[in-house]
Chains A and B, each alone.
Chain A
C-alpha cells in the first residue's frame, strides 16, 4: 500500500478538526525538499498509531524505507510543529535508545488526549528518527540497534542484556565452561547452554545444523518474576537483571514453570562444593551490592539460573570485571566474540556497537578485509559505522578485538530476533542469525558428531580441554545429561521410560 493510499483510506474517518492541521502541514511541506503527501500521510498514520488504530507492524510496513529517505534533518519536525520542549523529548528518546515509534507509543489512546499532546509526541518521534539517521551515520536504517533496548518505563535506566551472534559461534562451548566454573554449578546445571538443531523451514539439516546459544533472557516482563509467590525472583531496579534471592526462595519451582525458555535449574541435590566452604571462599561473589544473596550457584532446595554476573557488575570482582560476564570473557578468550554483554540502553555499549557494526557489515558498508584478513574501517565521516583507525594508524590498537576480527560475511544481510517475542516477555537477549522455527528439532550430540563432525565439540572434548575437569573429574566434569546425574540420587524408579 502506498502512502497516498493510506491517506485516502482514512480521510473520511479523520476528525474534522484535523483538516486545518493537515492544510497547515501540507502548505509548510510544499516548497521544501520533502514529499508533502508522504509527510501528511506519515503524520496521520502516526496519529492512528498513537491512538491504537494502527499497529506498529502495519506502520513499519508502510514507512520504514520511505521515511528514512525523506527525513534526514531537523527541519522536518519543525514543520510538524515541534517547539523547544519537543527537543527535550527528542533527547530523552535518543538517550533511551528509543525510536520514533517508542515516542508515539507513549501517547495514550485516550480520546481526551489533547491534539497538542499527540502532535508533540509525534513530532518528537519523527524528529528522533530524522536525527537518528544523521547521528548514526550510515547505519541509517538500523532498527535493531535503536530498538535494542526495551523501553523500560521510558527512562534512561540501565538495562543489561546481550547481543549474541549465532553466525559467529563455532560451538566450542567455551561459554558453557566459563559459566560453569565461574558459578560453581552443579553437574549438568548449565546456565549457559548451546543447542544444535535441524529445521526444514530454515534449510537447516543434520549436515548443516542451526545453533542457539541460550542464557537467561533477563526479560523486562519476566513471567518467572510475575508468578513467584515470594518475590525471591525479582528484577534488580538499577540494571534490569532478573535475579533470585536465595535466602527467600521456597523452592516451589513455579518460576521454572512460568519461564517459556527453560533456563531455570533447581538445586535438587547437594552442591559439589561444601556450602560453608563455598560461602567462605566466595563471600564477595555470592552477595551483590544490596547484600542480597543472588549470585553463583544456589544452595540446595532453591532455584538458580544465569544471573549475568551481578557481583561483577557491582565491582565486587574488581574494576576490570565490571561490564563483563563469565561467558563473554570465555568466548572472547576462545577468539570467537559471539557474545556481547552490556547496557542495551546505552548506544555506545558493546552490544549496541556490535550490532551496528555487524548490520553495516552485512550490508557491505564496511570495506572488505585487507590482505591479512583484518577488518579495515572506512574512516570517512560519512562512511563506516565506527569511524576508526585503519591498520598502520597509530591508534589502530584501540580497536577492540571483539570488533576487529572474525566477522562472518553475509551475502543476504543479517537478521535479528528475540526468542518467543510473541509471548510478550520482552527478552533482553538479541540474536543475530537464523531464528529456529516452530518445527525446529534439537539434534543430539551423537547426531551432530555423526552428520556434521566438527560442527561443535562434545562435552567429552570439552572436559579434555578443561584443566580443572582433567585434574578433578569428580568435582569439575562438565556434562549435559542433568537427568542422568539426578537419577543417581533418585530412590527407586526415576529411570527414563
Chain B
C-alpha cells in the first residue's frame, strides 16, 4: 500500500490533466456508441425485423431477447451504487468511501443504459410519453411493466438527488481549483449553499440512502424486474417466488464486478493507489465471492425443484436449461470465480488486482449471458408447448450484439465526461483518509463479517 497522503490535488487530477490515453478512450467509446446509434436508426427505419427476434408460438422465435436480457443486466449493475452507499453511509464501513461516489455514478450510468434499452426495445418509442403516461392512472394497478418504469424512475431521481446533495460540499470547497468554463453548472449545483447546511445535508443523505437501500433490493431487482417474469404462470422457466432473490444475487454480483473494474480503471489512470487501496479491492473481491455463492445457491434451488418431481412443463424447461451450453457455461464461470475467491482468502498470495479484474469481467460476461438465456429460455419452453415443431430459433443479430458494446461505450463516455466536471472521489474520503487512522481496524472487521 502506498504511504502517500491523499490530498485535494489527487482528486482534482482527472479534471486538470488529460492524457493521450484519455482521448483514445473517448474516441473509442464515442465511436462504439455512435455506431450503435446508427444501427438503431436503421432499426427505426426498417422495423424491428432487423433483430433476430420473432413471435413465440407459430412465429418460431422469441419476442424478447438480448435487449431485455441486457436491460436486466444494466439495472443489476446499477445496484453497485446502492451497495457501496449502504456499506459507507448506513453500515459505517468507511473504508469503501473512496469508491462510493464512483459507484453512485455507476448507478446513474447503468440506469441510463437500462432506460435506453427500454426505448430501443420498443416498436413505437415515439408514443412512450403519450401512451404510457396518459394511461398511467389505469395501468399502474395491473401492469408489471408500468411498476418497473415507475420504480426505475424513482430510483434514478433519488440517486441523482443524493449525488447532487453530496456534491455541493465538494464543489463549494474546491471551487477555486475547478475549471471556469463549467461555472454555470457549479453555480447551479451549489445554489443557496451555506456551511450551516452541511449537517442537515448529512442527515438528509442518510435518510435518502436508507430509502434507496430499502427500495432497490425489495422493489427493484428483488421486485419489479423479476416480477416481469416471475408472475407469469405460463412460463415454467420464469414463474415462481425464487426469481426475486435470484435476480437480486445476480444484480449484486454484477454490481460489485462493475465497481471493481471502474475503481481499477481510475486508480490506474490517476495513480490513486493511496486512495483506492489494495485493501478496497480485497474487500470488494470477497463481497463478489459472497454474492456469487448466493447466486449459485439459488440456481441450485431451481434446478433441484425443476428436476425432482416437478410438473411436466417445469421439468421440460429445466431439462432444456441444463442441456444448454450457455447456461452451463455461465454457471461454470461463476463457480470458478467463487472457487478462486475462496482460495485467495485462505492463501493470501493468490490475490492480485489483475486476477480480481479477470474475475469481475468473467462474472459480468456470465451474468449477461445467463440473463439473456433466462429471457429466451422462458419463451422457448412455455407451458403451452404445442408449437415445438415450428422451425426457428433465436440468435441475436449484429445490431443486438452491438447494442451491448454501444451501451458499454455510453457508460464509459459518461464517466470520461463526468470525471472532467466534478470530483469522482469525495472530498470527505480524502479528509477521512488523512485523519482516519482510527479506522484501520475496519477492513479486518468487514472481512470477518463477509466470511461469517
Q: Which residue of A lies closest to B379 (CB)?
A: A257
Give the docked Cα–Cα distance between A484 and B55 (Å): 12
Q: Which residue of B lies closest to A299 (CB)?
A: B124
Identify whether the interface residues of A are mostly helix, strand, loop, or mixed.
loop
Q: Count residues of B near A (Cβ-Cβ below 8 Å).
A: 67
Q: Are B54 and A496 in contact (CB under 8 A)?
A: no
Chain B neighbourhood of A495, CB < 8 A: 395
Given contacts A229-B149, A250-B125, A264-B55, contact A301 B387 (CB under 8 A): no
Give the docked Cα–Cα distance between A496 and B394 (Å): 6
Q: Does B123 contact A (CB under 8 A)?
A: yes
Q: Are A497 and B395 in contact (CB under 8 A)?
A: yes
Q: Are A230 and B388 in contact (CB under 8 A)?
A: no
Interface 9-residue window, one of A69-77, A140-148, A407-415, A433-441: A433-441
Considering the complex, which residues of chain A in the window 449-497 have a beta carbon less than 8 Å from any beta carbon of chain B?
A: 480-484, 486-487, 489-497
Annotate A183-224 by CB proximity to B: 1 below 8 A, 0 otherwise: 000001110010101000000000000001000000000010
Given contacts A227-B145, A262-B382, A492-B398, contact A257 B389 (CB under 8 A): no
Taking a contact as CB atoms closer than 8 A, the residue among B123, B134, B388 that contacts A249 in the complex is B123
Interface 9-residue window, one of A267-275, A330-338, A378-386: A267-275
Given contacts A226-B143, A231-B139, A300-B123, contact A268 B52 (CB under 8 A): no
Q: Are B122 and A268 in contact (CB under 8 A)?
A: no
Q: Are A260 and B234 in contact (CB under 8 A)?
A: yes
Given contacts A260-B384, A262-B387, A482-B392, contact A250 B132 (CB under 8 A): yes
Q: Are A267 and B145 in contact (CB under 8 A)?
A: no
Q: Are B397 and A483 in contact (CB under 8 A)?
A: no
Q: How far is the CB of B391 from chain A (nearest CB, A)?
A: 6
Taking a contact as CB atoms closer than 8 A, the residue among A212, A253, A300, A440 that contacts B63 in the complex is A253
Given contacts A301-B123, A302-B123, contact A444 B128 (CB under 8 A): no
Q: Does B245 contact A (CB under 8 A)?
A: no
Considering the complex, which residues of chain B in the window 103-144 have a beta carbon less than 8 Å from any beta carbon of chain A?
A: 121-125, 127-128, 131-132, 134-135, 138-139, 142-144
Given contacts A442-B388, A486-B49, A489-B46, contact A257 B64 (CB under 8 A): yes
Given contacts A420-B384, A481-B60, contact A250 B391 (CB under 8 A): no
Give the docked Cα–Cα distance between A257 and B382 (Å): 10
Chain A neighbourhood of B47, CB < 8 A: 267-270, 300-301, 489
Give the docked Cα–Cα distance between A439 and B312 (Å): 7
Chain B neighbourhood of A489, CB < 8 A: 46-47, 49-50
Interface centre among A443, A481, A483, A484, by most chain B C-beta atoms within 10 angstroms, is: A483
Annotate A298-329 by CB proximity to B: 1 below 8 A, 0 otherwise: 00111100000000000000000000000000
Q: Does A388 contact B (CB under 8 A)?
A: no
A-B contact count (CB 8 A): 224
Give the docked Cα–Cα distance between A482 and B394 (Å): 13
Given contacts A228-B143, A264-B55, A497-B395, contact A441 B389 (CB under 8 A): yes
Identify whether the interface residues of B are mostly helix, strand, loop, or mixed.
loop
Taking a contact as CB atoms closer than 8 A, the residue among A195, A226, A483, A496 that contacts B59 in the complex is A483
Taking a contact as CB atoms closer than 8 A, the residue among B60, B138, B234 that contacts A423 in the complex is B234
Taking a contact as CB atoms closer than 8 A, the residue among B48, B232, B399 that contacts A257 in the complex is B232
Taking a contact as CB atoms closer than 8 A, the residue among A254, A269, A481, A497 that contacts B393 in the complex is A497
Given contacts A252-B145, A497-B395, contact A264 B57 (CB under 8 A): yes
Annotate A96-117 by CB proximity to B: 1 below 8 A, 0 otherwise: 0000000000000000000000
Chain A neighbourhood of B329, CB < 8 A: none
Taking a contact as CB atoms closer than 8 A, the residue among A261, A263, A266 that contacts B48 in the complex is A266
Q: Are B124 and A436 in contact (CB under 8 A)?
A: no
Q: Which residue of A lies closest to B121 (CB)?
A: A252
Give the docked Cα–Cα distance between A232 and B138 (Å): 12
Q: Does A419 contact B (CB under 8 A)?
A: yes
Q: Are B63 and A266 in contact (CB under 8 A)?
A: yes
Chain B neighbourhood of A128, CB < 8 A: none
Chain B neighbourhood of A259, CB < 8 A: 234
Closest 8 CB pairs of A and B: A251-B123, A262-B57, A483-B392, A492-B398, A301-B123, A260-B234, A483-B60, A489-B49
B contact residues vs A (CB 8 Å cutoff): 39, 42, 46-61, 63-64, 121-125, 127-128, 131-132, 134-135, 138-139, 142-146, 149, 228, 232-234, 311-313, 379, 382-401
A sample of 20 more A-B contacts (CB under 8 A), given A193-B57, A253-B64, A423-B383, is A190-B58, A229-B143, A230-B131, A230-B139, A232-B131, A248-B131, A250-B132, A252-B145, A254-B228, A256-B55, A260-B383, A262-B382, A442-B386, A442-B387, A483-B393, A486-B49, A492-B399, A492-B401, A493-B52, A493-B395
A contact residues vs B (CB 8 Å cutoff): 188-190, 193, 195, 197, 212, 223, 226-232, 248-254, 256-270, 300-303, 419-420, 423, 436, 438-444, 447, 480-484, 486-487, 489-497
Subset of 20 A-B contacts with CB under 8 Å = A189-B55, A226-B142, A228-B142, A228-B143, A229-B143, A250-B131, A253-B63, A262-B55, A266-B48, A420-B234, A438-B383, A439-B312, A483-B61, A483-B393, A486-B54, A489-B47, A490-B49, A491-B50, A494-B52, A496-B393
